[in-house]
Amino acid sequence: MKKYDINNIKKFKKTPIPKKIIKRMIWLDEYISNQTGTCNAQEIIKNIYSVADLYMKEHISNFSPCHKGCSYCCHVALDVTALEAIYIHSITDIEINHRSVKIDKTSACPFLKNDICSIYELRPLVCRLFASLEPVKMCKSPQSFHSLHSIKSSDFWLNIMGWFLLNSSKLTIGPFPISPLKDIREWFIKN
């Protein structure tokens, strides 16, 4: 039987999100709501990522053992929106795959190099908001149940993901729609 760090999880559940972060989340919600017509998607994505990073750094990281070089989460399904894939492509010029391919969702993310994310500043929202709330040893076995923080942990972040999906569903290549959501390994084929 595995031991769980139940005290850390209880502490996490009882700790409110700091007011500074709540103010930024409210600002972000209003900022996105006020975008009309043609908006600068890159600017919106940068603002979303900035608030997500603040949220993780000043709230979730207090309860998570995650650290640079620990890459167990880079071997799980990583659903990324078309908008985020295009954002990564626009800055890195790495080719996007639009064909349907079969992938192993337990293989390493194509951007994982020597257990470090090679696009860390550009990483998608699913990666930014993912953290273990228990000791790293729990991450070593993907089949073992342990407490995580992810996009699904918060209605706020689910709504932000909804914005990504809505805007991704409007994208096309000529007359053909682009899939709004695929695993990162499908968007970017590892060479």
Task: Specify the residue for token string 């390493």.
Answer: 108
Q: Are the CB atoms for 133 and 73 separated by under 8 Å?
A: no
Q: Are the CB atoms for 47 and 146 separated by under 8 Å?
A: no
Summarised one tens digit per residue, pLDDT across range 6-44 is: 676 777 888 899 999 999 999 999 999 988 766 789 999
Summarised one tens digit per residue, pLDDT across range 50-73 is: 999 999 999 999 888 888 988 988
CA–CA distance, 159 with 153 (Å, rounded to integer): 11
Nearest to 190 by CA among 118, 127, 138: 118
The pTM of this model reads 0.90
Q: How close are the terminal C-alpha atoms of the chain, in Å? A: 40
